């Protein structure tokens, strides 16, 4: 069985920018590369799970998202960091284009993307984690049976007080690698 870190993307891996969909606007959060390298040394592999309602809203296409994710994966690969897969939810329950406007199992806080990754990659849920900057990330991890950790990048610093009794908290991915160790 594999030990996996499930990672939210926006606000966790990259700096939060409203409806990010162009590689030229992408910027890694502080200590992402070093944190992922440390986690990799501990035997963890990585899966990205990201809500992308910008697709439902018509701000960008699934192809735009896939192109950006592919560039991110290539950049991480230059640092010897592999991403097993990038899962995304293009839906929104109330807003957007008809084919994407729906309640679904994949939009966090629902655990659909995580459960799919757990099954496909034979993930050891007892020794795996979900890391994200929103309560929906933490709840999705919990529903999937994972330990969830709030990261204080992105929106994380805004909800720290709301979740500190229930979840572990780290200031960035390097700090979280020390917590997990």
Residue range 60-70, pLDDT digits in tens: 999 999 999 99
Q: Which of 8, 133, 137, 172 is catalytic?
A: 8
Which structural domain, as residue segments, surrounds residue 176? 4-180
* Catalytic residue (one of 10, 133, 137, 172): 10
pLDDT tens digits, 112-159: 999 999 999 999 999 999 999 999 999 999 999 999 999 999 999 999
Task: Give the separation between CA 58 and CA 38, rounded to whole angstroms.
Answer: 38
Annotation marks residue 8 as catalytic: yes
Residue 51 has pLDDT above 90, yes or no: yes
Q: Of 86, 144, 88, 91, which is closest to residue 114 (Cα–Cα)?
A: 144
Report residue 97's pLDDT band, with 50, 70 and 90 as the boundaries: confident
In the chain, the number of structural domains is 1
pTM for the structure as a whole? 0.97
Per-residue pLDDT band at 95 (split at 50, 70, 90): confident
Query: What's the whole-number mean pLDDT along residues 65-78?
Result: 98
Q: Which residues contact 153 (CB under 8 A, 6 or more apart)?
A: 11, 12, 15, 16, 29, 30, 133, 171, 172
CATH value at residue 62: 3.40.50.1000
Q: Terminal CA-to-CA distance of the chain, rounded, Å?
A: 19
State the pLDDT confidence band at 24, using cuts at 50, 70 and 90: very high
């Amino acid at each position: 069985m594999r030990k996996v870190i499930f990672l939210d993307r926006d606000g966790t891996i990259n700096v939060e920018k409203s409806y990010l969909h162009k590689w030229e606007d992408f910027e890694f959060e502080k200590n992402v590369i070093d944190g992922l390298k440390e986690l990799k040394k501990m035997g963890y592999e990585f899966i990205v799970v990201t809500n992308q309602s910008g697709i439902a809203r018509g701000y960008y296409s699934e192809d735009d998202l896939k192109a950006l994710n592919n560039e991110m994966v290539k950049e991480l690969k230059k640092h010897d960091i592999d991403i097993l897969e990038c899962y995304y939810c293009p839906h929104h329950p109330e807003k957007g284009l008809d084919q994407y406007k729906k309640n679904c199992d994949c939009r966090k806080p629902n655990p659909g993307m995580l459960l799919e990754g757990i099954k496909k990659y034979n993930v050891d849920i007892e020794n795996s984690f979900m890391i994200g900057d929103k309560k929906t990330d933490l709840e999705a991890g919990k529903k999937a049976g994972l330990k969830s950790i709030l990261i204080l990048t992105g929106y994380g610093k805004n909800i720290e007080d709301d979740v500190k009794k229930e979840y572990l908290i780290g200031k960035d991915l390097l700090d979280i690698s020390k917590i997990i160790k």
